[in-house]
Amino acid sequence: MRRRRTRSSRCTSTSASPASSPAGAFPAHFASQDTAETVPITQILVNSLITAPAPGRLLHRGQPAAVSGKAWDGGAGIARVEVSVDGRRSWREAVLGRDLGRYAWREFSLPLDTAHAGQIGIAVRAVSRDGTQQPDKLTFNPSGYHDNIVRTLRVEIA
């Protein structure tokens, strides 16, 4: 079966959108929906997601392992993804997968050193081609949208 592509039309609703963020925190393009407290969400922020290893996973000492995931942004494209395994004191650049377009997910991976036993904390942050980097601190908004802080998890090597 073949799907038809349709163009979305510009929103003309005058009602407040339930998907909103604090006024001034993010760019807005729909003045008809702005309120004193919130503005409609109209932009995708640079973000990343760790898909492996799973949080709390036991990795076997000396065995190959990698951190991998997806990164995306609002259309500038992903320039790089950085990984820290030492409490964010240093960052290493992950290998990026194929660029499938400005709005596509970008895969990343980086081998993990499993030579030493113990717990490690993994942090991942993406940087877009326009220089925007995932923040360390969440910009609060009442609806909980735009949660694009640096992603973290812990694993055990034994």
Q: Kindly state whether residue 121 falls inside one of the protein's structural domains.
A: yes
Q: Kindly state whether residue 153 falls inside one of the protein's structural domains.
A: yes
pLDDT in tens, 31-60: 666 676 666 677 889 999 999 999 999 999
pLDDT in tens, 84-111: 999 999 999 999 999 999 889 999 999 9
- Indicate whether 38 and 75 sit together in one domain: no
- Indicate whether 82 and 152 sit together in one domain: yes
pLDDT at 32: 62
- Indicate whether 33 and 63 sit together in one domain: no
Q: Kindly state whether residue 2 falls inside one of the protein's structural domains.
A: no
Q: What distance in Å separates the CA atoms of residue 29 and residue 139, rounded to the nearest whole number?
A: 19
Number of domains in the chain: 2
Residue range of the domain that includes 125: 47-157
Q: Kindly state whether residue 94 falls inside one of the protein's structural domains.
A: yes
- Indicate whether 24 and 65 sit together in one domain: no
Q: What distance in Å separates the CA atoms of residue 111 and residue 109, rounded to the nearest whole number?
A: 7
- Indicate whether 59 and 35 sit together in one domain: no
- Indicate whether 58 and 101 sit together in one domain: yes
Q: Kindly state whether residue 4 falls inside one of the protein's structural domains.
A: no
Q: Kindly state whether residue 120 falls inside one of the protein's structural domains.
A: yes
- Indicate whether 86 and 23 sit together in one domain: no
* Token digits of residue 148: 């694009």
